[in-house]
Amino acid sequence: MNEEIPNLTAFDEAALDEAFARLERQARAAAAALDNDAAVEAFRLEWLGRKQGRLNEVSGRWLKAAPAEAKKLLGVRFNALKAVVEGLLDAALGAGQDGSWGGAALAAEAIDITLPGTRRLAGAEHPITRTLNEITRVFAALGYSVGVGPEVETDFYNFESMNFPPGHPARDTQDTLVVAGQERRPQRDRLLMRTHTSPVQMRTMEQQPPPVRIVIPGKVHRNDAADATHSPIFHQVEGLCVDTNITFSDLKGTLDHAMKALFGSAVKTRFFPSFFPFTEPSADVQISCIFCGGKGCRKCKQSGWIELLGCGMVDPAVFAFAAEKQPGYDPKKISGFAFGMGVERIAMMKYGVSEIGSFYAGDMRFLSQFA
């Protein structure tokens, strides 16, 4: 162990030269005695350690105690000594590269640049994204364009323009996730997380006169309790077709084609009366069970059919809202249909997933199955 760093009593050039020369001799003597990796590490800590290193102590004792006129002279010599110590350390670290001590650790870290590199695996679409894109492509092939809109919507676009007036009982299951602190705003201007992608239908009609054919994929939010088949955040694909002489037969033919494109040509569809505020008449669409071929099984509750989406003819009241900005949406001259389906539900059927939460858990063991 080298002797302790003494206090300087004189700061003239001769005294500084002598003090730093003595430290350099000690460093060179210590470096010459190094013969293994442990000794090299001890040398580094003794001279260059942040807390108890000898150079740190020199800085603390000499630089701080030096008068102002001597600080520059002392600083120059300190930097020179530090460079010498770092050079001795570098030389010691490289001493083992010829096969002697010190080379084992470095050899273990060496990289053979002639070996092939680590292969980076290609990414893959998330099953939700894949299903959403697949549904969109089916309707794009029918001439539908893709519509998008904000996830944070106003009460007007999310509810009122879709024929959900304030106090309507159909709001009870959806009017839940609102943005706080808006009590002073008019009801129709209050913000909320959209509960369906239907607001994009109204925004599109306000900007574009008929005919319109759009499909609207996107994320929606509802205050649903999470379970095996429900989530407060999920994805929808809705569609809107508006033109002259659009009938319910056009709606049935469109959705029958879409279900066959998604699930195979053997799938059958059937429609049951239902209710949605923004369509009249409205219907629920069922497809023949893709698991049992319609014979009846546990997944279709022995019925042979699975309910998959909702649809209907656009209510004239919705066209009346659009006509306020686009007179072409006169319900006496045009008609249309709309539909909506949950992307997660379709993905669960296509890929045999029993828990909707598996899509959101980020478990690579699950997601890698779809790569």
Q: What's the structural domain count of the chain? A: 2
269 and 170 together in one domain: yes
Mean pLDDT estimate for the chain: 86
- pLDDT at residue 108 in the model: 56
Residue 1 inside a domain? The answer is no
Q: Are residues 93 and 148 in the same domain?
A: no
Name the nearest CA neighbour of 318 among 217, 203, 226, 218: 203
The answer as to whether 118 is a domain residue is no
Residues 92 and 171 in one domain: no
Is the whole model's pTM more than 0.75, yes or no?
no
Do 161 and 84 share a structural domain? no
Pair 210, 344 in one domain: yes
For residue 98, the model assigns a pLDDT of 52
Residue 117 lies in a domain: no
- Distance, in Å, from the CA atom of 93 to the CA atom of 48, rounded to the nearest integer, reads 14
How confident is the model at residue 27, as a pLDDT?
Answer: 85
Tens-digit pLDDT profile for residues 62-75 = 877 788 888 888 88
Same domain for 67 and 140? no
Q: Is residue 5 part of a domain?
A: no
Among residues 75, 109, 143, the one where a domain terminates is 109
The verdict on 31 and 96 lying in the same domain is yes
SS3 readout for the chain: CCCCCCCCCCCCHHHHHHHHHHHHHHHHHHHHCCCCHHHHHHHHHHHHCCCCCHHHHHHHHHHHHCCHHHHHHHHHHHHHHHHHHHHHHHHHHHHHHHCCCCHHHHHHHCCCCCCCCCCCCCCCCCHHHHHHHHHHHHHHCCCCEECCCCCEEEHHHHCHHHCCCCCCHHHCCCCCCECCCCCCCCHHHCEEECCCCCHHHHHHHHHCCCCEEEEEEEEEECCCCCCCCCCCEEEEEEEEEEECCCCHHHHHHHHHHHHHHHHCCCCCEEEEEEEECCEEEEEEEEEECCCCCCCCCCCCCCCCEEEEEEEEEECHHHHHHHHCCCCCCCCCCCEEEEEEEEHHHHHHHHHCCCCHHHHCCCCHHHHHHHC
Residue 119 lies in a domain: no
pLDDT digits (tens, 9 = 90+) for 257-298: 999 999 999 999 999 999 999 999 999 999 999 888 888 888
- Verify that 103 and 184 share a domain, yes or no: no
Instruction: Decide which of 109, 138, 168 is a domain's last residue.
Output: 109
User: 197 lies in which domain range?
Assistant: 127-370
120 lies in some domain: no
- How sure is the predictor about 16, in pLDDT bands with cuts at 50, 70 and 90? confident
Q: Is residue 98 part of a domain?
A: yes
Query: Does any domain span residue 121?
Result: no
- Amino acid at position 326, single letter: Q
User: Quick one: which of 167, 159, 174, 156 has its CA closest to 222?
Assistant: 174
Same domain, 182 and 78: no
Tell me: do 103 and 145 sit in the same domain. no
Looking up residue 237, the CATH number of its domain turns out to be 3.30.930.10
- 201 with 149, same domain? yes
One domain, residues 60 and 158: no
